């Protein structure tokens, strides 16, 4: 079946054709190993280093501070486990209650190995509680991990307020910027984070390649030992085509972010306004202003348990959307821990509809969904009512 309207850009983005073009030679004749000394190898090394400089430029970092990984999940694991496995007495690990499982489950694994794990609460808009954080930041704290933007509700966390406090307490600051990078400006020269995770497939790059920004001077233990690639932090022959695609995607995102964002914010706001006007039971989830440019998360009062039916009805109408995180598809019928952290009861926490727009979405698509949703939501009503 052809998906004609793709509104699931937080799960993954279509690869930009310019990225596909940049990757093509590295999937064919330019197959050298970047560690080889002959010219094929040297060309591959040059391509990897050019991509590293582009990924660094997206964050205003230095190229040597970028470590390529095989995913955002791996970057998160390297940040948390890598920091905890260095010899230090402080045992406290603070992560927000709404982190992606790549952070949350890694933190839980560390807690089973002796870390003292605290989950930072969020307010009903999804913003981390700064007073709670200030009270829990003791000299015992080794690492704080708060995401730059949330994957389920699209809320942008106040990192500019959080990171300096964490640094003042002497702890390491990590942020999972997998959803934020390429969508909102990030400048590590003014934002005092030590570690920051990225993933190429969320910014119109290929799947299976990520990166961890490691501020100069920050010491980590590698997860993967071997030939010493990536400054010894991530051994393995580099995924040259993937890394080249990531570099090109980062370059496009950096150069076109301002224009893309202006367009996406207008589309997002039109979508929110249109759906709220057409469906009286609809409500917006997450902070109204502090949200990613293309991100819309909605609930439908009284019908929250029907979110999956709504999703399937949309799919039948050739609209690809989501109920929340793609990574929780197997738990799709269960209440979302993210919504519960916002204070939703377990019934309401089963019911988000996530519509996430990206570079290739159009105004016509937004209008089509605005027209379609009231009918589909209306069609669910008797079922939802009968079940309550």
Among 71, 141, 175, 361, binds ligand PLP (CB under 6 A): 71
Minimum CB distance to ligand PLP smaller for 55 or for 380: 55
**What residues contact 252, with CB distance under 8 A and at least 6 apart?**
16, 18, 19, 204
Give me the least distance between CB of 347 and ligand PLP, in Å please.
25
Among 9, 96, 145, 199, binds ligand PLP (CB under 6 A): 199
- 319: contact with ligand PLP by CB under 6 A: no
Kindly indicate which of the ranges 172-180, 287-295, 340-348, 361-369 contains the residues binding ligand PLP, using the contact rule CB under 6 A.
Answer: 172-180
Residue 279: active-site member: no
Among 176, 230, 238, 260, binds ligand PLP (CB under 6 A): 176
Minimum CB distance to ligand PLP smaller for 9 or for 303: 9
User: Which one is catalytic: 223, 224, 327, 332?
Assistant: 327
Written as six digits, the tokens of 192 are 């005092």
Minimum CB distance to ligand PLP smaller for 179 or for 323: 179
- 178: contact with ligand PLP by CB under 6 A: yes
- 147: contact with ligand PLP by CB under 6 A: yes
Minimum CB distance to ligand PLP smaller for 73 or for 96: 73
- 183: contact with ligand PLP by CB under 6 A: no
Minimum CB distance to ligand PLP smaller for 71 or for 336: 71
Among 327, 340, 368, 381, binds ligand PLP (CB under 6 A): 327
- 13: contact with ligand PLP by CB under 6 A: no
Total Cβ atoms within 10 A of residue 320: 17
Kindly indicate which of the ranges 174-182, 234-242, 286-294, 344-352 contains the residues binding ligand PLP, using the contact rule CB under 6 A.
Answer: 174-182
Among 206, 210, 242, 305, binds ligand PLP (CB under 6 A): 210
Minimum CB distance to ligand PLP smaller for 73 or for 323: 73
Which residue of this chain has its Cβ atom nearest to ligand PLP in the complex?
Answer: 72
Which residues belong to the active site? 327
Note the residues at the interface with ligand PLP (CB under 6 A). Answer: 71-73, 76, 100, 102, 147, 151, 176, 178-179, 199, 210, 326-327
């Amino acid at each position: 079946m052809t998906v004609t309207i793709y509104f699931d850009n937080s799960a993954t983005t279509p690869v930009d054709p310019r990225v596909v073009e940049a990757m093509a030679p590295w999937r064919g004749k330019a197959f050298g190993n970047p560690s080889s000394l002959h010219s094929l190898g040297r060309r591959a090394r040059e391509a990897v280093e050019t991509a590293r400089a582009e990924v660094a430029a997206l964050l205003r970092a230095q190229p040597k501070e970028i470590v390529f990984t095989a995913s955002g999940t791996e970057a998160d694991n390297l940040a948390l486990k890598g920091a905890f496995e260095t010899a230090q007495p402080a045992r406290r690990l603070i992560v927000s209650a709404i982190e992606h499982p790549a952070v949350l489950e890694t933190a839980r694994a560390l807690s089973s190995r002796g870390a003292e794990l605290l989950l930072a609460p969020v307010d009903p808009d999804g913003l981390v509680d700064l007073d709670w954080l200030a009270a829990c930041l003791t000299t015992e704290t080794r690492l704080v991990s708060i995401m730059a933007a949330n994957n389920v509700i699209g809320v942008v966390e106040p990192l500019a307020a959080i990171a300096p406090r964490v640094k003042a307490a002497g702890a390491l600051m990590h942020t999972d910027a997998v959803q934020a990078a390429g969508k909102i400006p990030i400048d590590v020269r003014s934002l005092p984070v030590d570690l920051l995770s990225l993933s190429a497939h969320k910014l119109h790059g290929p799947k299976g390649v990520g990166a961890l920004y490691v501020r100069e001077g920050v010491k980590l233990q590698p997860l993967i030992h071997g030939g010493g690639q990536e400054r010894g932090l991530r051994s393995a022959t580099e995924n040259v085509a993937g890394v080249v695609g990531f570099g090109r995607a980062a370059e496009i995102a950096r150069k076109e972010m301002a224009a893309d964002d202006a367009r996406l914010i207008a589309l997002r706001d039109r979508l929110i306004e249109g759906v709220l006007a057409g469906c009286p039971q609809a409500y917006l989830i997450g902070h109204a202003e502090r949200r990613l440019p293309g991100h819309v998360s909605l609930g439908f009062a009284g019908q929250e348990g029907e979110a999956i039916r709504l999703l399937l009805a949309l799919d039948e109408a050739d609209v690809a959307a989501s109920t929340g995180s793609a990574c929780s598809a197997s738990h799709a019928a269960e209440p979302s821990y993210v919504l519960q952290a916002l204070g939703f009861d377990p019934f309401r926490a089963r019911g988000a509809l996530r519509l996430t727009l990206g570079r290739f979405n159009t105004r016509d698509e937004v209008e089509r969904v605005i027209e379609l949703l009231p009918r589909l939501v209306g069609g669910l009503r008797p079922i939802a009512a009968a079940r309550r």
